Structure 1
Amino acid sequence: MIRDAATRDFRAILGLNAESVHFLSPLDEAQLLRLHAQAAYHRVVEIDGAAAAFLLVLREGADYDSPNYRWFAQRYPQFLYIDRIVVAADRQGHGLAAMLYDDLLAFAKTTGVETLTCEFDLDPPNPASAKFHARYGFREVGTQWLGGGKKQVSLQARALPASSST
């Protein structure tokens, strides 16, 4: 079941993030609380009463010091920024990330925002993320080195269909 993330999910979310931190930025409870408060979209997939996956997305105008978020903020007047998506290691390959992205796309239709953005690692490589995002229509719009040249990311964007709200 996909549902909005709540503070009761934070322990599981922090555990999931720690499990995949080699692909993500570290996250502590204070940072998570701040991101959760600013999120345009923060949902979890609940299985057996616990969060097995989560997706956290911010809009333009957030008070967020991520260099990747700032890169998009300098180039796009409106955007939804996928800060992180994580699926529990023992639940990967079961379509949970696709469920969350499909749900996000349905949400995005209601926002009037024209661009969905994200990044994934090029160096060290994250080929699973590259393949997943290509399948969802993301295209590279830039790259940047982070961490003093220790990591390179591919900055990705996907055009969203015009909002159907009347």
Structure 2
Amino acid sequence: MSDTALSPVLPVTSDALPAILELNNEHARELSWLEPERLAHLVSEAFWTARVGEADAFLLTFDQDADYDSPNFLWFRDRYPRFVYVDRIVVAKHARGRGLARKLYEQVFARAQAAGHSVVGCEVNFNPPNPESDAFHAAMGFEEAGLADVYGGERTVRYLIRRLQA
């Protein structure tokens, strides 16, 4: 049995927030820095959020009804009447190569489809580049849907979508 098969996907509960916050902020360059109150708010607005282990990996998603002001989320809201947006997904350095991100995404696809969504969207940094994320998302069936400068031109992102079967 693989290591991945032994790693259950768990909900993000309040007791897990400190470890999730630490993992997020270790990757703030790719994800953006969060304060504890902001993370708690985001989790409360989430379509679905999950973790593997204490914080080997975590994922935070929103649907079109979320109270969220991210310019990336709003890009999707302006274009898709119903969607699930993957706001952040991260795997701790010590847990990479175990298929955890794939496992989390597969569950997002299943949950989004069960809820009647036909699109899962996300963004990947184009500048600064993130070639590992580009390759991963291509392998997961995402396609480019747009490009934008965000945060005052500090970053350029590629918006990606994965279409789900009806």
Q: Deviations over 1:35-93 (max 9, x none)?
A: 111111101101xxx22110110000211110000010000000000000011111112
TM norm structure 1: 0.93
Tell me the secondary structure at the aligned position of residue 49 of structure 2.
strand
Tell me the secondary structure at the aligned position of residue 161 of structure 2.
strand
2:44 is equivalent to residue 40 of structure 1: no
**Aligned twin of 1:5:** 12
Q: What amino acid sits opposite 2:92 in the alignment?
A: A
**Aligned twin of 2:65:** 61
CA distance, structure 2, for counterparts of residue 159 and residue 109 of structure 1: 10
Q: What amino acid sits opposite 2:151 in the alignment?
A: G
**Aligned twin of 1:124:** 128
**Aligned twin of 2:105:** 101
CA distance, structure 1, for counterparts of residue 32 and residue 68 of structure 2: 13
- Whether the 8 Å contact between 2:123 and 2:160 is mirrored in structure 1 is yes
**Aligned twin of 2:24:** 17
CA distance, structure 1, for counterparts of residue 75 and residue 143 of structure 2: 15
Tell me the secondary structure at the aligned position of residue 146 of structure 2.
strand
1:147 positional shift: 2.2
Of stretches 84-93 and 115-124 in structure 1, the one that deviates more from structure 2 is: 84-93
**Aligned twin of 1:147:** 151
> Which residues of structure 1 form unaligned runs of 5+?
none
CA distance, structure 1, for counterparts of residue 152 and residue 13 of structure 2: 35
TM norm structure 2: 0.93
CA distance, structure 2, for counterparts of residue 61 and residue 109 of structure 1: 16
Structure having the larger proportion of residues in helix: 2
**Percent identity over the alignment?**
42
**Aligned twin of 2:116:** 112
1:161 positional shift: 1.0
> Which residues of structure 2 form unaligned runs of 5+?
1-7
Q: What amino acid sits opposite 2:102 in the alignment?
A: A
Tell me the secondary structure at the aligned position of residue 97 of structure 1.
helix
1:109 positional shift: 2.3
Q: Deviations over 1:88-134 (max 9, x none)?
A: 11111221111111121221221101110000100000011111111
**Aligned twin of 1:80:** 84
RMSD: 0.9
Q: What amino acid sits opposite 1:45 in the alignment?
A: V
